[in-house]
Amino acid sequence: MTPLLSVRDLRVSFPTRSGSFQAVRGVSFDLGRERLGVVGESGSGKSMTGRAILGLVRPPGKVTAERLELDGESILNLPERRMRKLRGARISMVMQDPKFSLNPVMTIGRQIMESYRLHSGQGGQAARDKALDMLRAVQIRDPERVFDAYPHEISGGMGQRAMIAMMLAPDPEILIADEPTSALDVSVRNEVLRIMDKLVRDRGMGLIFISHDLNLVGQFCDRVLIMYAGRVVEELPAHDLHAARHPYTQGLLNSLPRLDQPVERLSTLQRQDSWRDADIATPLPGGL
């Protein structure tokens, strides 16, 4: 079976005054119809990986890869016009804060209709019905009201659900979620995750879930990539996360305070230079 998305040796670099800065340094993975978690601290290149796949790295940033294929078709550095057709229709992205990713002067309903119309070509009543369906699908109890609401009139959790509705309206194959719940309170967070999970599973989509929250990713995803300094340092099934072998992953897990295990002092992470370039602890099955 060919994977939905195949990435080999993805690199993103930015020119700076003192040479070029490599934000992503050779990331490789395959994505099937699964939930793949990408975890790392700030500056690990996790968000930049997602943006590079969508062709959202702004110049002077440069993206190179040995392979970047969607269903066996290369999408590396496509011209903007073709990329725009792809974005939304086949790969969608949910960003961190709905406050900044929803258009403040357009009602929620119109934004969802717009995204559907752009990619399906259907307009009018069909788009309206689809939008209301989507709002129902993300479990908004009062879809008619939210349809006519402006983004500032709804709560953060509601906004993020509307955002998911908008991104899923054109039935994409892959959803990239970049810290979709970091701006939300815990109680709302779990609800949004549940909705996202159900939709992704029902539709057989591939999900790339980018987050800094190791525990959350461990609970929510099937497989986890741990990134450090622009590289994947470890890859493992999510339920084996506690058995991680890479010292960085272990360090991250241990530095979290836990409710069920009181400790006197939290263990801190001693970063090692070797993590930047050493071999990956658990390479992809079958090798690359």
Q: Which residues bind other proteins (CB under 8 A)?
A: 17, 41-42, 156, 185-187, 189-190, 193-194, 197, 212, 214-216, 219-220, 251-252, 255-260, 262-263, 265-269
User: In whole angstroms, how close is the CB of 81 to other proteins at the nearest point?
Assistant: 30
Nearer to other proteins, 262 or 286 (CB): 262
Nearest Cα to Cα of residue 26 among 285, 279, 287:
279
Nearest Cα to Cα of residue 116 among 159, 166, 177, 160:
166
Handedness of CA 136, 142, 143, 146 (dihedral sign): negative
Nearer to other proteins, 60 or 123 (CB): 60
Query: Maximum CA pair distance of the chain?
Result: 62
Coil/strand/helix, residue 86: helix
User: In whole angstroms, how close is the CB of 45 to other proteins at the nearest point?
Assistant: 14
Nearer to other proteins, 91 or 221 (CB): 221
Count of CB atoms situated within 10 Å of the CB of 272 = 11
User: In whole angstroms, how close is the CB of 87 to other proteins at the nearest point?
Assistant: 26
Q: How far is CA 254 from CA 43, 129, 285, in A?
A: 20, 48, 27
Nearer to other proteins, 133 or 191 (CB): 191
User: In whole angstroms, how close is the CB of 20 to other proteins at the nearest point?
Assistant: 15
38 touches 10 (CB < 8 A): no
Nearer to other proteins, 130 or 223 (CB): 223
User: In whole angstroms, how close is the CB of 75 to other proteins at the nearest point?
Assistant: 29
